[in-house]
Structure 1
Amino acid sequence: MSIKPLRWGIISTGGIATKYAQDLLVDPSTREVSDVKHVITAVGSRSVDSANKFIDALKAAKADEGWGWGVKNGGLDNVKGYGSYEEVYADPNVDIVYIGTPHTFHHRNAKDALLAGKHVCCEKPFTLSLEELDELIALAKEKNLFLMEAVWTRFHPIAYKVQEVLKSGKLGKPKRFSADFSSDFKPDQQPDSHRMIDPKLGGGSLLDMGPYPSVWAMLMVHHHPLNKDKTPKVVSSYQSIYKRSGVDASSRWIVEWDGLCLGNLMTDMTTSGFADNTALLQCDKGDLVVENPPYKPSTFHIVPHPQLSDGDLTKRETIHAPVHQGNNGMAYEADECARCIARGEIESKRMPWDESRVVQGWFDTVRNEGGTVLKGKKGTVGQ
């Protein structure tokens, strides 16, 4: 039986959009998938020339580059380059729009795509504020269109393996959680226009890096079988200020899952994180430790508590679960979009709106309790 391809329009031609487009063109069988097919039919940029350069770079894939399979098998045969995003939204050969623009443009871009009748997969953080996100969700419901935040890590093989361990119950009840995404972006060496520096682009560590400690908090604590609190709140937060532009250099926030445990989450753009531990869930019988990097880890450890000498958990165990060879790790979330749309669903069960709302609410709290130039900023809601 032939599979109807999902026709993608790509918004923005930066680094993350490049990786996403490459992954759409990777042979699905290399990740053991046979029920989806992706093609790219439109690319939107600030100029037609820029869009066409993006397309030409994809078409120039070398033999050993995974997306070369899609180039050879029709994945770009009908692609058009446009000098505006609006032309992508209006293209009748586009089913879904991938939005890879800076954070502060997500709401406007996603809203325009939905208003044009297109499904949307939008990069994280979903929006600048919870108000913006709620407006998009309401619009997706009204238009009966699929809408999902592109939290790629949720769909990686390691995410499912980690959750298998936690659902087995062999670690016992969670006691405390911590997660960190710290990386030295050398901000003093970056131009004012850099995405981590410029407030107009949602600069700072919270919005750019915060989705990663948050995704592990959601996967390891929020999804834990013993968790009954579906609306965990930030109970304390702190932001240090990068004085040159007024964005946050680092952010720390504590989340409480009532009746279960506390989670300590941290981002920092001025120093490197600890390679052996990006996320840690400490439980009654042992700990689960996920190695760096938080966005695409390949290894985690089960570490028994030394004081326990009996029972099932007595030896340290290391589990490797990398993404499949040949793709950047974004193909999995694209597959989720294709499956949901094929089933007529407007929301992903793996990446549901309610959980995007939880994390967006954390960011709002941290941002509005801090002292950065983004404090209280509403974005383009209602516009």
Structure 2
Amino acid sequence: MAPFTIRWGIISTGGISTKFVHDLLVDPSSREVSDVAHKVVAVGSRSVESAQKFVDKFKATPDDESPSWGIKNGVFDRVKARGTYQEVYDDPDVDAIYVGTPHTLHYENTKDALTAGKNVLCEKPFTLDSAELDELIALAKEKNLFLMEAVWTRYHPLAYAVEEVLKSGKLGKPKRFTADFSMDFPMDDKPTSHRMLDPVLGGGALLDMGPYPSVWAMLLVHRNPYNKDTDPKVLTSYQTVYERTNVDLNSRWLVDWKGLCQGQLLTDLGSAGLREATAVLQCEEGDLIIEYPPYCSEAFQIHPRPERDLGTIKEKSRHVHPIAKGNNGMSYEADEVARCIRDKKLESDRMPWTESKIVQGWFDVVRTSGPTATATMKGHASK
């Protein structure tokens, strides 16, 4: 049987869209996929020239690089360069839109795509607040369209392997969770217009980096078989302001899953952060440790409890589950979108709207409780 093929329209030609299109062009058999396939049929940018430059660069891919497979096998045939996003939304050949624009444009771009009758995969964070997200979900339901936040980490081989460990029960009940995504970013050396510094672009640590400690909180604690709390709340939060532009230099928040455990989540642009333990779930029988980087980890460890509190796990072990060769790691979420649209689903079971709403709710609390919400929302309104 021929694979189900999804035809993509790409919104924005920046770095994240470049990585996504790269993965659409990689041979699906490299990741052992044969049931779905992808085509890129339209690319939208701020000008036709910019879109065409993006297209031409991919068409010139050297034969020894993995995207060349797609160029040779029709994935990029007759792709249209468009000077407006609306032309991509309105293209009858497009089945699904990938939104790779800055954070503050996600709501607008996704709403426009859904209004035009297109399925949407939108980069994280989905929106700037829960009200915007609720509106998009309602619109997807009304239009009977698929909608998903592009939390690519959920579809990586490691995420599935960790899920099996948790389902086995060998670690026992969770007792404590921590997750950290930090980098020693040279804030003072960057212009105030840089996307990480500019509140108009949703700059700062929380919106850009916060989805990654959050995804491990969701995968390790929220989806843990022991968890019964469907609406975990933020107990406390704190933000440090970067005074040049009033974005957050760091944000941290404590989440409580009633009857189970608490989790401390942290993002920081002023420190390199932890490397071998970017997320740690401490349980009754042992500890599960996700190795850096949190967005694309390829290894996890299981550690025994300390000797005075030894559980059933007696030896440390390390488990490696790499991204398929030639893929950036975004191919897996694209495959999920194709399968969901093929199966006429409006949302992914692995990245459901309810879980996007939980994380968005956390961000709302951190921002409204801290000093950065006003700057970001003013910037959003000015756009």
Q: Same fold judged by TM-score > 0.5?
A: yes
* Counterpart position of 1:176: 176
Task: Please give the secondary structure, in 2, of the residue aligned with 1:17.
Answer: helix
CA distance in 2, matches of 1:3, 1:378: 46
* Counterpart position of 1:207: 207
Q: After the TM superposition, which residues 303-342 of structure 1 pair with which residues of structure 2 at under 5 Å, given as runs?
A: 303-307=303-307, 312-342=312-342
Residue 356 (str. 1) matches residue 353 (str. 2): no
* Counterpart position of 2:24: 24
Q: After the TM superposition, which residues 55-204 of structure 1 pair with which residues of structure 2 at under 5 Å, given as runs?
A: 55-204=55-204
Deviations 1:318-347 (A, max 9, x none): 000111001100000000000000011111
Deviation at 1:377, TM superposition (A): 3.0
User: Residues 133 and 378 (structure 1 numbering): CA distance in 2 closer, same or farther, change over 3 Å?
Assistant: farther
* Counterpart position of 2:268: 268
Tell me the amino acid that sits aligned with residue 238 of structure 1. Answer: Y
Instruction: Judge conservation of contact 1:126–1:133 (CA < 8 Å) in 2.
Output: yes
Deviation at 1:311, TM superposition (A): 6.6
Instruction: Judge conservation of contact 2:286–2:311 (CA < 8 Å) in 1.
Output: no
Residue 219 (str. 1) matches residue 219 (str. 2): yes
Deviations 1:295-334 (A, max 9, x none): 0011110000132797741111100011100110000000
Tell me the amino acid that sits aligned with residue 108 of structure 1. Answer: E
Instruction: Judge conservation of contact 1:368–1:376 (CA < 8 Å) in 2.
Output: no
* Counterpart position of 1:51: 51
Residue 370 (str. 1) matches residue 367 (str. 2): no
Instruction: Judge conservation of contact 2:4–2:338 (CA < 8 Å) in 1.
Output: no
Deviation at 1:163, TM superposition (A): 1.2
CA distance in 2, matches of 1:135, 1:375: 23
User: Residues 228 and 180 (structure 1 numbering): CA distance in 2 closer, same or farther, change over 3 Å?
Assistant: same
Deviation at 1:372, TM superposition (A): 1.5
Task: Please give the secondary structure, in 2, of the residue aligned with 1:339.
Answer: helix
| Identical counterparts, % of pairs | 62
Residue 282 (str. 1) matches residue 282 (str. 2): yes
CA distance in 1, matches of 2:362, 2:207: 11
Instruction: Judge conservation of contact 2:7–2:41 (CA < 8 Å) in 1.
Output: yes
* Counterpart position of 2:242: 242
User: Residues 102 and 376 (structure 1 numbering): CA distance in 2 closer, same or farther, change over 3 Å?
Assistant: closer
Instruction: Judge conservation of contact 1:181–1:267 (CA < 8 Å) in 2.
Output: yes
Deviation at 1:77, TM superposition (A): 0.5
5+ long unaligned stretches in structure 2:
none
Output the aligned Cα RMSD.
1.6
Moved more, 158-167 or 237-246: 158-167
Q: Normalising by structure 1, report the TM-score.
A: 0.97
Deviation at 1:373, TM superposition (A): 4.9
5+ long unaligned stretches in structure 1:
none
Instruction: Judge conservation of contact 2:199–2:376 (CA < 8 Å) in 1.
Output: no
Q: Normalising by structure 2, report the TM-score.
A: 0.97
Instruction: Judge conservation of contact 1:129–1:379 (CA < 8 Å) in 2.
Output: no
Tell me the amino acid that sits aligned with residue 10 of structure 1. Answer: I
CA distance in 2, matches of 1:319, 1:58: 35
Task: Please give the secondary structure, in 1, of the residue aligned with 2:238.
Answer: strand
CA distance in 2, matches of 1:326, 1:334: 15
Deviation at 1:63, TM superposition (A): 2.1
Tell me the amino acid that sits aligned with residue 172 of structure 1. Answer: G
Instruction: Judge conservation of contact 2:304–2:311 (CA < 8 Å) in 1.
Output: no
Task: Please give the secondary structure, in 1, of the residue aligned with 2:98.
Answer: strand
Moved more, 369-378 or 233-242: 369-378
